[in-house]
Homo-oligomer: A and B are copies of this chain.
């Protein structure tokens, strides 16, 4: 990070290589943790999937817990970043629609990460309890106040902001966590591009109508 930088210019060298290796490991780990859960995942499996010997994996991540923690924290960052679109719009219709789109896109592009997150929370959040208590709590309370303001301004129906947020989280996350069930009910095939669009549209339609917003605004 801050070692003597003899050469002020580029150098594709060591640092990038290390980051690339770590990224490859983290991607393998995410998949394995998602498929097998923390308890069912083995370092050997992760090493195999990343294409390197187990001992080497332990060089980059000293323990299984450390590796897992990193995976979970990465997901949480993605999750939080998506949450930002909530603020970049100025009304409930745009904000909630954009938030649904963003979260549905995460479910589509990062199903493994979503599952790891769900699994972590389901098991009592042993490693990210801090995040839940601070970052997530603050974000949630902030957004709840925004929603209450919209309600006070008559821009949407009076609903309990927390339960609305839970519904948004639950519904969008469902498409990742339960994608296997959805696939099975879809004749064994993954949702096509059009079906994903329909899913997004359906979720937006029902929720926006559910809080008294005319979706033709969008």
- A contact set with B: CB distance below 8 Å: 34-41, 115, 118-119, 121-125, 129, 132-133, 136-137, 140, 157, 159-160, 162-164, 166-167, 169-171, 173-175, 177-178, 180-182, 184-185, 198-199, 202-203, 205-212
Contacts and interface: CB of A to CB of B under 8 A. Distances in A.
* Copies of this subunit: 2
A180 B210 contact: no
Contacts of A41: 39
A36 to B, nearest CB: 6
A32 to B, nearest CB: 11
Chain B CB within 10 Å, residue with most, of A35, A121, A212: A121
- The prevalent SS among residues of A at the interface is helix
28 contacts: A36-B123, A37-B38, A37-B40, A39-B41, A118-B118, A118-B178, A119-B122, A125-B184, A132-B181, A132-B184, A132-B185, A133-B184, A136-B181, A137-B184, A159-B206, A160-B198, A163-B199, A163-B203, A164-B206, A166-B175, A166-B182, A167-B174, A167-B203, A169-B174, A170-B178, A208-B210, A209-B209, A209-B212
